[in-house]
């Protein structure tokens, strides 16, 4: 995620993401973690304020929490002490290191041109049979939300094709209504996929 306006938004709003202490982990996280072997190594992309990171660690997994915004990494570590580190999507360059990659509501900020490259890097980073989860706001083309953040706003066919082209096998797809940080209601898509 190299879009300057999107990174600036998260830098400026990092404190807000750690103020809601009672906020539960993402709705799909536990079901995703239930697919993994105990102690599996999990890469989290876009850890934000760290609420999902804390749950992954609480469940006993070997967490590698990352975010592309240094201010968000600081807040995640201050609040949850999860050992988060700064890494942007384009910096992922490992092979067969993780059993799972969790990417809740973060890859939606990748440009449409860059997303296929990032998906291929995620696939390479997974061990054979490894799992990946990501969620996206559905739409009809790349643009910005009311807060100025870049979104790829894919339609369902486009995003499923992007995962197929990156050599993933779709295991579960769910479309559901949700409100984004900008207050806009729209359909979201959650994909759970697997490296063959």
**Is the separation of the CB atoms in 154 and 136 below 8 Å?**
yes
pLDDT at 52: 97
3-state secondary structure of 85: strand
Of residues 60 and 22, which shows the higher confidence score?
Answer: 60
Among candidate residues 174, 183, 186, the one with its CA nearest the CA of residue 139: 186
Give the model's pLDDT for residue 21. 47
> What pLDDT is stored for residue 11 in this prediction?
85
DSSP string covering 128-195, please? EEEEEEEEEE--SS-EE-TTS-EE----HHHHHHHHHHTT-EEEEEEEEEEE-TTS-EEEEEEEEEE-
pLDDT digits (tens, 9 = 90+) for 135-169: 999 999 999 999 999 999 999 999 999 999 999 99
What is the per-residue pLDDT across 89-123, written as a single tens digit (0 to 9) for each?
Answer: 999 999 999 999 999 999 999 999 999 999 999 99
Query: Domains, the chain, ranges and CATH?
Result: 4-194 (3.40.50.150)
- Is the pTM higher than 0.85? yes
């Amino acid at each position: 995620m190299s879009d300057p306006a999107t990174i600036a938004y998260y830098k400026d709003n990092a404190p807000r993401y750690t103020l809601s202490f009672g906020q539960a982990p993402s709705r799909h996280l536990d079901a995703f973690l239930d697919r993994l072997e105990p102690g599996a190594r999990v890469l989290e992309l876009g850890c934000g304020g760290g609420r999902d990171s804390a749950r992954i660690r609480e469940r006993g997994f070997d967490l590698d929490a990352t975010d592309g915004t240094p201010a968000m990494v600081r807040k995640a570590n201050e609040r949850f002490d999860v050992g988060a580190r700064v890494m942007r999507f384009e910096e992922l360059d490992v092979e067969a290191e993780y059993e799972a990659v969790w990417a809740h509501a973060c890859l939606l900020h990748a440009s449409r041109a860059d997303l296929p490259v990032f998906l291929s890097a995620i696939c390479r980073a997974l061990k054979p049979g490894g799992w990946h989860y990501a969620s996206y706001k559905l739409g009809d083309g790349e643009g910005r939300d009311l807060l100025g953040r870049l979104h790829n706003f894919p339609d369902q066919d486009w995003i499923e094709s992007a995962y197929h082209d990156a050599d993933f096998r779709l295991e579960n797809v769910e479309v559901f209504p949700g409100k984004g940080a900008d207050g806009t209601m729209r359909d979201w898509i959650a994909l759970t996929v697997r490296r063959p």
